Structure 1
Amino acid sequence: MAGRAAPTARRTRLGAELRKLRERAGMTTTQAADLLGTSAGQLSNIEVARFGVSAERVRVAAHTYSCTDQALIEALATMTGDRKRGWWEEYREILPPKLLDLAEIEHHGTGLQAAHSIHIPGLLQTIDHAREIYRQAVPEMSPPEIEHRVSYRVKRQAVLYRDDAVPYRALIHEAALRMRFGGPDVARAQLLHLLKLSEQAHVTIRVIPFEVTYYPGSGQSVYYVQGSVPALDTAQLDQSHGPVFIDSEAQLTQYRLLLERLDAAALSSAKSRDLVRKIAQEL
C-alpha cells in the first residue's frame, strides 16, 4: 500500500477509531497484528493514516476487537471507499491543513450545529462580513491571504445550498447580532442575510437574548458535526491558532449536553427572526 503525505480527514478519523477499538479490546499493536495476519508496523501505519485499508479489513479488525456495534462497523467500512478529494484540496498549499480538514468533515456530516456568542457562524456570514473579520485577525493577514480565506469560507457555504443539504442549526447570542463589523451597512446586510437563510427548511436560526439570566458553558464557539453514527461525531472549537477537533466519547457527550442547554435558553425560530429584524431596523 502506498502512503500519502497528506491523508484525508476521513482516513485520519478511520485510523483513530480503529485504534480506539483495539485499545478497548486491551490489545497491543503486536497482539492485534498477529491476530490480523499483518505486521505491527503496518497496523500502526493504518492507525495513523499513513496507509489506507479496505472495507473488509475494517470489518475483520472490528470483529477481532470484539466490537458488537454493527452500525459503527458499517460506518467505518463506508469511510474506506471515498478516495475522491474535494474542492478544499485547491487550498492545500495556501491555508492551514486543519481548515481543509474542517471542510471535509463538514462535507460528509449528516447534521450541523453551531453555537456562537460573539461572531455570526461562518456558514452564515456574508462576504463583506467575513472579509472584515479577517481584516481584524491577529496576527494581521495580508490582502491575498484575506481573499483566500474569504473564498474558502464562501465555498464551505455550499453545504447549505446543495441538493442533499443536511439540517443546519445555529444558536446565536444577541451580542453577536449587535456587533457592527464593517459598519452599519455591512452589519444590516448581514442581519438581512440571516433572515433570508432562516426561510430555508433545513436551516434553523435561534437567538439567545440578553434577557436570559444564564449562558451555559464558557462562551466559546462550538461547531458540532454529526457523523453517520454518533460515535463518529466531531466537535470543533475555534481557537486563535486555528480549529481544534474533538472526537472522544466523553467530550462529545459533554458538548451535546452543552448544546442542549444553549438550545433551551434560545428564543423560538419565529421570535428569533423578530429580534433579528428589530436589530436590523435599528441600524
Structure 2
Amino acid sequence: MPPRRAITGKSQEPRLRYAEELRLLRTEKGLTLRELADAVGWDSSVFSRLENGHTLGSPEIAEALDRYYGTRGLLLTLWELAMGDPTQFKEQYRRYMILESEAVSLWHFGVSTVHGLLQTAEYAREVLAIGGADGDELDRQIEARTGRRQLLEGREAPAFRALLAEAALRTPLLDPGAWTRQLQHLLEVSERSSVTIQVLPQHVGLYGLVSTDVMFLRLPDGRTVAYTENALRGELVEECASVERLHRAYDSMRDAALNPAQSRKFILRMLEETPCDPST
C-alpha cells in the first residue's frame, strides 16, 4: 500500500492543492518538466505555471495528465474544484461568490458592461486590465471569471435574467473581432432555456439604477439577496427592505426594456454595425 500523503494547509485551498498534486505526481515519476512535456504534448512552460499555481490550464490538460499518470479522473476533479473556488476572488466578493453558486435563480442589471457570467475571455481580459490587473494576476482573474460561466451550463443551471443597458452594447472592445465574438456569444447564450437577455434602450430616459450594477440571488431557503457594484467597490445587501427597494427599481426597468425577441434583434443590429476586423 502506498504511503499516505500528509494533510497540509493547502488542502483547504483547491488551487494550491491542484498545483501540489501535479508536482508530487511528476517528481514521484522522476520526470523533469521537459520530459513531461515531451510525453504529454504541451510546452514545458505550461506545466511550470501549473505547478507554481500561476494558472489552472484547461480541462483538456487535466484529462491528458489523468491518462498519463493513471489517476482516473482525480486531476480533472481537482481542476473543477479549483475553478469553482471562491478564494480566487478578492475578499469582498467571496461571500457573494458562495451565494451565487448556491442560487436557484439570478437577475442582473448591467449599466455599462456585460456581466461576468456572459463574458468571453477576450472581453474579461480587457475589463480586468482596465481595473489594473496584469501578468499572472490578470491570467488568474480571467480564468476565475470565465470558469464561473459553468454555473449557467447543464440541465441543473439556475434561471438567469440579464438586463443590459444599451450603453453596454454600444461600448465595444478595442479589438473589433473580439467585440464581434462577444456579441455572438450573447446571442448563443440567449438561446438557452434558462437564460433571458433583455436590453434597456437609451430612449427610456433615466431609471432607478442609473449608476449601479446589481445582481439578485434567490437562495434555496427562499431569501433574496442583492449585490451592488460600482467602479470603487461592491456590497452584499441582505436587509429585506433594502433588497425590496432595489427589486422595485429593477422591475420598473425590466418593464421598460425590450422583450427577449426584440433584444435579440437589437444585438443582431449591433453585430451588423460592428466594424470589420482588419486582420481578417
Normalising by the smaller structure, the TM-score range is 0.5 to 0.7
The amino acid across from 2:112 in the alignment is I
Q: Post-superposition shift, 1:217?
A: 2.5
- Partner in structure 1 of residue 33 of structure 2: none
**Is the CA contact (8 Å cut-off) linking 2:217 and 2:225 kept in structure 1?**
yes
Report matched runs for 1:164-203 at 5 Å: 164-203=156-195
Query: Aligned pair in 2 of structure 1 residues 87, 258: CA closer, same or farther (>3 Å)?
Result: farther
The size of the alignment, in residue pairs, is 196
CA RMSD between the two structures: 2.1
Distance 2:100 2:182 in 1: 22
The residue matched to 1:240 in structure 2 has which SS?
A: coil
User: CA-to-partner distance for each residue in 1:107-147, whole Å, 9 max, x for gaps?
Assistant: 1001011001200111001000000101111xx22311111
For normalisation by structure 2, the TM-score amounts to 0.65
- Partner in structure 1 of residue 128 of structure 2: 134
Query: Aligned pair in 2 of structure 1 residues 272, 90: CA closer, same or farther (>3 Å)?
Result: closer
**Is the CA contact (8 Å cut-off) linking 1:179 and 1:187 kept in structure 2?**
no
Q: In structure 2, which of residues 260, 271, 278 is the aligned counterpart of residue 280 of structure 1?
A: 271
Distance 1:89 1:203 in 2: 20
Distance 2:227 2:86 in 1: 20
Q: In structure 2, which of residues 88, 100, 114 is the aligned counterpart of residue 120 of structure 1?
A: 114
Report matched runs for 1:110-259 at 5 Å: 110-137=104-131, 140-230=132-222, 232-259=223-250
Distance 2:250 2:147 in 1: 26
Q: Post-superposition shift, 1:95?
A: 3.5
Distance 1:91 1:124 in 2: 18
For normalisation by structure 1, the TM-score amounts to 0.65
Distance 2:154 2:98 in 1: 15
**Is the CA contact (8 Å cut-off) linking 1:135 and 1:141 kept in structure 2?**
yes
Q: Post-superposition shift, 1:213?
A: 3.0
Where in structure 1 are there 5+ consecutive unaligned residues?
1-6, 8-85
The amino acid across from 2:253 in the alignment is L
Where in structure 2 are there 5+ consecutive unaligned residues?
1-11, 13-80, 275-280
Q: Post-superposition shift, 1:97?
A: 2.4
The residue matched to 1:211 in structure 2 has which SS?
A: helix
